[in-house]
Structure 1
């Protein structure tokens, strides 16, 4: 690498980044501090050299910062394109069929959404629905009741300085309570994220996308498999919540909600 005089050259572009075990002297003649990480730059006239991370900003100021921003943006854009192209190749007919099976038919996401929604909006009274929603937000599925202590228990409690009249005893657990908070997310996933968005993603040409579009679809591609698994998990919770014994348990213990 050549040494450059910062007062006599103008930076043209950053062409790479380095991070090595051994330290190499900075390519700026007024610095020459050994660095283990920094950037490879091209100056006007074609001269290439290495500049330490902090040296570039300290010596070249705004000029270097703008080039650094451009380099990072270009690097990210390339990484986004590669990820989008990779995910497009991974979305096979089998994957699309798997998503379709999650969405349509009895016991599937749309059906489960309608069932949970019907309980919360019609089949349960407003007090039960409101209490379930609040419990789901708190992630608190356990129901307790206060029961009177026996005379012997009161004596023990009195000696220990505790409550001498009642004790708290668990009655049971609301199964699949998280479905109350997540069933709308499940529907959004299968209709939009894994539905409309999937169709749009399949036809993308990454080389034609703007940086903001690349960033958006890279995020979508990175979350695609997670959302499939999340949909399956929420469906399982919906089934647990909708079990006949669980619905009966909620109704029988509504005063404890």
Structure 2
């Protein structure tokens, strides 16, 4: 494909024949008698194109279209450009590639700006809709203890599940006599009867598995994800893309390049949060309530969750 940087912006051409029909194009220029004016395009082809310099004509797949001071246009590779035109060519190629990148960024941001109404509407629905981000975030904060509303015993069970990294709910208890005997037999501690009699073992019983666990995982905060997406949407809406400075263009393009991934992350967290906050799912934590007061508080929390 060929990329031309013209007054109309970037022009992309698929056929080399279109280049050969450009006024002034020649496939044979003597580098000793010509002065470069500017680089006007670049190309990448699977098929090899002969270099336009009379001293080379070696086929290559990547190169530049250059305009000479006398109006002629030809094509040369990067190696020939540096060899015959030295610093001048290097400077021109940098200017050209920077201009192409800037124009590509403007086109990219323009396309994103056309998508803004749909994206903004989706984010607003995700944020404020029924069982949306605001609703999920408030309840996840309660479950993880970021806001004081649930009993400590329930919060600790959730925190332990988070630390385990898989959403498994575990209750620890003292081992039975039979379990201790089996454990010591496996350890083969002959002659250490005092250990067998006096050392209690703790057994972990798996009593549940929280569905939608990723909504609780560190780094999956909805506030953080929305805090990345919403400022970008506002900045893009207010931006005059054609007037952005190079720095502003780079920063906005970088954020724009991360937008779809952040949107997908937001959707994923919302889906996980809605799975997590089903009444039947969260009800598994009931057995961690250690008093009637704890139980009443937790029942009030459950009452607000969908079936």
TM-score tier after normalising by the smaller chain length: 0.7 to 0.9
* Matched residue, 1:161: none
- Where structure 2 has 5 or more consecutive residues not aligned to the other structure, the ranges are 1-25, 187-203, 290-307
C-alpha distance in structure 2 between counterparts of 1:141 and 1:129, whole Å? 8
* Matched residue, 1:67: 92
**1:27 matched to 2:52:** yes
> Alpha carbon RMSD of aligned pairs, Å?
3.7
Which of the numbers 225, 250, 260 marks the counterpart of 1:215? 250
Q: Work out which of the two has the higher radius of gyration on C-alpha atoms and give 1 or 2.
A: 2
| SS of equivalent to 1:27 | coil
- Runs of 4+ that moved beyond 6 A: 144-148
* Matched residue, 1:134: 163
**1:78 matched to 2:103:** yes
In the TM superposition, residue 105 of structure 1 has moved relative to its aligned partner by: 5.2
**1:54 matched to 2:79:** yes
Which of the numbers 62, 65, 74 marks the counterpart of 1:37? 62
In the TM superposition, residue 51 of structure 1 has moved relative to its aligned partner by: 0.6
* Matched residue, 1:18: 43
**Contact between 2:127 and 2:133, CA under 8 Å: does it hold in 1?**
yes
What TM-score do the two structures reach when normalised by structure 1? Answer: 0.73
* Matched residue, 2:277: 242
Structure with more relative contact order (C-alpha pairs < 8 Å, separation 6 or more): 1
Q: Deviations over 1:87-138 (max 9, x none)?
A: 222223x5433322211255221221121112213436475454344334xx
As a proportion of its length, which structure holds more helix?
1
- How many equivalent residue pairs? 238
**Contact between 1:102 and 1:190, CA under 8 Å: does it hold in 2?**
no
**1:119 matched to 2:143:** yes
C-alpha distance in structure 2 between counterparts of 1:188 and 1:64, whole Å? 46
